[in-house]
Amino acid sequence: MSTQPLLEVDHLKVDFRTDEGLVHAVDDVSFRLGQSEVLAVVGESGSGKSVTAMTLMGLTRSPNARFEGSARLRGQELITASDDELRKLRGKEIAMIFQDPMTSLNPVHRIGKQIVEQIQAHDDVSDAEARDRVVTLLDRVGIPRSRERIDSYPHEFSGGMRQRVMIAMALSCDPGVLIADEPTTALDVTIQAQILREMRDLRERTGTSIILVTHDLGVVADIADRIAVMYSGRIVETGTLDEIFYDPQHPYTWGLLGSIARIDRPRPHRLPSIPGQPPSLIDRPEGCHFRPRCRHEFEDCPKYPELEGRIGQAPGHDDRCWLPVEEKRDRRVVADGQIGLEAEGATA
């Protein structure tokens, strides 16, 4: 998309001290986000995708958290930034929308007031001017009769409308980076389609870069430019949308792609699944974290797999699997061109 990455994350590690032991929530995560690029961070619960996103916003800071590595937004370090420095960036340079629009708005304040507050925290503008900006924002995210609705309370909006309000608030200071953590998961599909369309339009009109955290590969296929697949705290594979969908290198990605029920394909007798469960983040297997669930495990797997380019001709398509590329391309095909971890009907 552009030459100079907007956001550079290098070897980010986040650990939390708990009574049960040290939780390795994010482990050696590196990625780049370009101007007006949509990066989808995909993974299941506990994969570290949300912790990564929240760490960029400084929302995981706590006495029991430990950070390593770096994340630079236009060259400015976020991980070691002071709380004051972060407060100036949040909302202005980097903004976030959350999964649950019911709990992320203050229920006792009118929505207009909540957005005006954010605008005035960053820009020195009059009340009237700020209000005008809010009306424009509400229009932009598709809220009808914005001049009246600006004085409504959150409970007067439906779930889809509340998510639009959240997006309007996140965009109020034209941030360079928008982090959207499962923005449509709580919404119905027809509303999801509307919100995704708004997000695509926004990216085109404002050039905002988006980090989309989600578990839904359909949503990813709809909006992302690049994908990072996370498993057990690590990015196990990253590449362009088409690379991940049509030339996936990591067996976990195969399993993920294989286990989705699709409405555009004949239905299989049994849905392919990934056997077992993700490992505990306290006590992880040595080397590849996916090893215990992988049917392609071999003697190299207990060695630590770096996230690196293993396909000569595809720069930027990196993965953490020791199998040779040709072997991967052969093994991931489970039935007439379909990608999966194992053939249909294999025991779960």
Partner 1 sequence: MSAAAAPNGDAMLDVEHIKQHFPIRRGILNTVAGHVHAVDDVSFTLREGETLGLVGESGCGKTTLSRTLMRLIDPTAGRITFRGRDITHASRRELRPVRTEMQMVFQDPYASLNPRKRISQIIGGPLELHGVARDEIAQRTADLLERVGLQREHVNRFPHEFSGGQRQRIGVARALALEPKLIVLDEPVSALDVSIQAQIVNLLEELQEDFGLTYIFVAHDLSVVRHVSDRIAVMYLGRIMELSPAEQLYSKPIHPYTAALLSAIPIPDPRENRRRDRIVVGGEPPSPVDPPPGCVFHTRCPRAQDICRSEIPPLTDYGNGHLAHCHFPLNVTREEIAGSTKSPLSPAASGDSQPQYVDPELHPA
Interface ranges with partner 1 (CB under 8 A): 44-45, 158-161, 188-194, 196-197, 215-222, 241-242, 245-246, 255-257, 259-264, 267-268, 270-275, 277, 348
Least CB distance to partner 1 at residue 266 (A): 9
Is 254 within 8 Å of 337 (Cβ atoms)? no
Burial of 127 (0-12, 13-18, 19+ CB in 10 A): exposed
- 264 or 308, CB closer to partner 1? 264
d(CA 118, CA 170): 9
Least CB distance to partner 1 at residue 265 (A): 9
State whether residue 179 is helix, strand or coil.
strand
Least CB distance to partner 1 at residue 222 (A): 4
d(CA 71, CA 80): 9
- 133 or 162, CB closer to partner 1? 162
Is 25 within 8 Å of 67 (Cβ atoms)? no
Least CB distance to partner 1 at residue 269 (A): 9
Q: What are phi and psi of 43, to 5 degrees?
A: 175, 170
- 52 or 253, CB closer to partner 1? 253
Helical (H) or strand (E) element with 89: helix 83-89
- 53 or 161, CB closer to partner 1? 161
State whether residue 210 is helix, strand or coil.
strand
Least CB distance to partner 1 at residue 156 (A): 12
- 193 or 335, CB closer to partner 1? 193
- 118 or 253, CB closer to partner 1? 253
DSSP string, 255-314: HHHHT---TTSPPPSS-----S-PPPSSSPPSS-TTGGG-TT--TTTTSPPP-EE-STT-
- 205 or 265, CB closer to partner 1? 265
Least CB distance to partner 1 at residue 282 (A): 14
- 104 or 273, CB closer to partner 1? 273
Q: What are 272's two structure tokens?
A: 């392919």
Is 52 within 8 Å of 230 (Cβ atoms)? yes
Least CB distance to partner 1 at residue 120 (A): 31
Least CB distance to partner 1 at residue 149 (A): 14
- In sign, the C-alpha dihedral spanning 127, 130, 135, 141 is negative
d(CA 146, CA 22): 48
